[in-house]
Amino acid sequence: MKPLIAVGGRRFPAGWVKAWPHEEAVAAPSPYINALRRGGADAGILQPVPMGPNELGDLLTRFDGLVLIGGPDVDPSLYGRDQHPECYGIDRDRDDFELALVRVAIEREVPILAICRGIQLVNVALGGTLDQHIVDREGLIAHGVPERGEGVSHPVELEPGSLVAKAMGVDRADGFSHHHQAIDELGDGLRAVGWTEDGVIEAVELETGWLLGVQWHPEETAVFDPAHQGLFDALVEQATG
């Protein structure tokens, strides 16, 4: 039987999907699902609803791994900061659900692949903070502008021997990014293993346990780039074991 990977879903208000003018929707972009299927797994999309730790634990027993996908910003109050004017799309219910989900998944040693917003969420879940707006800052390269749909490719230097480098089979990757926030202070138990030339953290892993976090969007290039597909393959392999 194929491993089953949980994918954190994003909520859309009624009317966002034209065919459902009166219904809220929960979805995940198909590139994430397609990359998991190429890796040999099936996927189930999770609806972000309030759950206690025991309920989340019961939910995760049905899955072999977890993917945290991209999306809007995490509520800055969750890491003790006032909201920057450029923050957008905050969904506190999704934040609360995914933060609790991450903590339970780590406690239960469920393998995790965290992408873009996902890496930021993991960092906040473990007590870290975020830099809320890095766009057009002097000394930083372009990292894309998500709310305008603008993406850029840039090199990422990976720590040789890190889980991310092993999964990708390279020590230098070209990541396709569109993020205006980034990790500031690292959360407890996380270590940085990938950076752009300007020093922005682009990849993390746990000091103990199996978690890959990347700030770019490997799902968008995995269909033609084996290095980026390797991140999904590594998750599936870990989930299978």
Known active-site residue 180: no
Residues 6+ apart with CB under 8 A from 107: none
Q: Which residue among 178, 217, 220, 228 is the active-site one?
A: 217
SS3 127: coil
- Tokens 């800052």 appear where? 137
Known active-site residue 24: no
Take residue 117 and report the two structure tokens written for it: 């917003």
Bridge partners, 5 (sequence order): 43, 65
Rounded CA separation 202/189 (Å): 16
Rounded CA separation 111/67 (Å): 9
SS3 202: strand
Take residue 240 and report the two structure tokens written for it: 């299978």
Q: Which residue among 87, 98, 116, 220 is the active-site one?
A: 116
Q: Which residue among 98, 202, 205, 219 is the active-site one?
A: 219
Known active-site residue 133: no
CA torsion sign for 108, 57, 115, 236 is positive
Please give the positions annotated as active site.
116, 217, 219
